[in-house]
Structure 1
Amino acid sequence: MLKILVVDDSLPRTNHMKRHFDKSSYSGLIQVHYCDTADKARMKMLDLYDLLILDVVIPKKNGQTASAKNSSELLKDVCEVNSEYLRPNMVVGLTANIDELGVYRQVFLENATIVLDGSLNKVDWLDTISSQIESLLGRVQKEERVQDKTLITVHGIRTNGKWQQELVEEVKKYSRSFNFVEVKYGFFDLISFVLPWSRAKKIREVAAELVRVIEESKSTEINIVAHSFGTQIVSEAFKSLSESSKVNNVILCGSPMCHMESIDHVVSRSERTVNECGGADFVLLFARLFAVGLGDAGRIGFTKANTHKFVNRYFNGGHGLYFDEVETGDLFVKKYWMPILLTRGEIVRHDERVDYLGQDAVELVVGIVSSLKAYLIGAGAALIAWKYFCG
């Protein structure tokens, strides 16, 4: 993922860039931060950015007069060899009037990659920025081609995993460095899934195959994506991995595991683990309420702190939202999974949850029913048996 910092106090121009980036073909591969003063930019640039887009005329602090002096001093600080700030790989200057540079023209010419006319009545400067971003992305992709990678996918129940091939085709658009392994186990029906002993047997069988695949791929960078029942298979497989086996990225989505269940054994063996959650995943809610041994970690998240190694992310949608388009018209996998699979940057946090009236009561009822479900199911089975044999 490319990290971009935009330093601009012009709200119309900033909004113009936001709309342009959101509609671009590379929207899922960039992470853009915005600030409007030189001092805020200095705080941001203690981290490394790939691209700095800098307004030539900015204020030093909020409420102060904008001046080219502030941007030139920021640029000198950032580009100074012994500075505490990290110099971006590319710097683009923006100005609505090139004469605004004045005596600071030389500073920008020496330290900026390019200075563009950023007038709002033109759009060619945005096209130039897009070209620079695509160039940076192309360089990253070329660097990645020298590394062998493996993408392992595991599907859920009541499906043959059509999404696995769709994900493969999407990844191929951006990288040629992947080997693809689609772990399949046939159509697993709902009744067999709900019955604990049948489910456990299938988990053990497929997990053994997954362990074999991971062990054989140890010489490559391993990435795993699992949906629904597949997340339980991944969890079981990680319990049997050898000490030398390490996985780069694990993406779990729609997981029917219990939210209180520990996945430390997965997180400890992988560089980054992401648990994707659908707030309207009623399939998982049903599983938590009525199926023994199942939960809704893919709805409410695992009870684990978000860190640089593990993140719960929350979206509006149901059990299959991960294979649909998002609001920008892009596929979910392109916008949210490509940055993880193709880059090593920090995982972007995401949370679309909205509090609602009566939420505490709903969650209380769900908690009580799910904690008593084993007893309720046992009582129901006993009642049916009593009526059958004694009624």
Structure 2
Amino acid sequence: MDFAFDARTEELRAKLLAFMDEYVYPAEAVAEEQRAALASPWDTPAVVEELKAEARRQGLWNLFLPDSEYGAGLTNLQYAPLAEITGRSPHLAPTALNCAAPDTGNMEVLTQFGDAAQKKQWLEPLLAGEIRSAFAMTEPEVASSDATNITTLIERADDGTDEYVVTGRKWYISGAMNPDCQIFIVMGKTDPDGADIRRQQSMILVPRDTPGVTVKRAMKVFGYEDHYHGGHAEVVFDHARVPASNLIGEVGGGFAIAQARLGPGRIHHCMRLIGMAERAIELMCRRAVAREAFGKALAQQGVVHNWIADARVAVEQLRLLVLKTAWMMDTVGNRGAHTEIQAIKIATPRAVVDIIDRAIQLHGAGGVSQDYPLADLYAGARTLMIADGPDEVHQRSLARRELKKYV
């Protein structure tokens, strides 16, 4: 395993670091000012569109997508250090580069499983950053950590039309509050009584303006509405009818598509989490050298030394594990890297939450305020101990795989 950056990665890193310094970090305050003046908090600040235009002009666009026909053609190993950089400004940078979830996962699904018409209608405008999308799987009435529990139905219409009827209630549907979100990828059951519980589900495209689709409310995350991300919504599908051609892939293929989608999504989250941790360390160090308490700088306090040292050790460990996972995904595929994907999904959010927590502590009241990004970073990192499968599910699967060696 050679984790040295190749020439293309080095070139893109240099461009991206300059882009962050010149455009993204200065835009953070501007975006907040512009948002306060918007008619709706879900509208996109003008500066975000300016960032997108500049990123596209510089060739910093769709870096996440390994398919060179549609994206930048980077391997996971090449993309990892770039995603880390975007994690330093998680609200603006991924969106500026058209590398923000849930659009990334939805574009991957359409690239791998969509037919020509679906790609033309939905993938192309997503790749161009002209629209946004949402992925509707989680439900409030069941334990969605087990995806076979979902109850939303995708039924063939019984009136002779070549349509499916979608009925169900979803929540924490990321991106759905954004007015630019025009398409939902919905996971539901086409065969709820099927013998194979992993062949009961299918995925289908449901346009936002379909009659019977209601975006009911925004769901808060630790009190945040996550406007830049497009929010997280409760969505009701009340006998929403769409053409049968909107089905993605084959009937009963929804569970397999979900697994194909979530693998890259999990590592992308972990890549960005490392960037979040790096920003927290930077803020911690700047605070430590600038503030005094009890007659000496915080940087001279032994406990602060411990926090900073432990944070640096944790980040270096996590980065190596993420890079190893990316390398394995590139060389043996997502299935071959299953153990490593689960390991980073367990380890990274936990460690980053702890690092951000120490940074908050060092900032005192400022750490929980809106004047620093730390509270927002904490909420995002802590949520990732639940999103894309809670830690306990990954621990269960990982432990079983280890035990098989001895049973």
TM-score where L is the length of structure 1: 0.25
Write 1 or 2 for the structure with the bigger share of helix. 2
TM-score where L is the length of structure 2: 0.24
Q: Identify the structure with bigger relative contact order (alpha carbons < 8 Å, sequence gap 6+).
A: 2
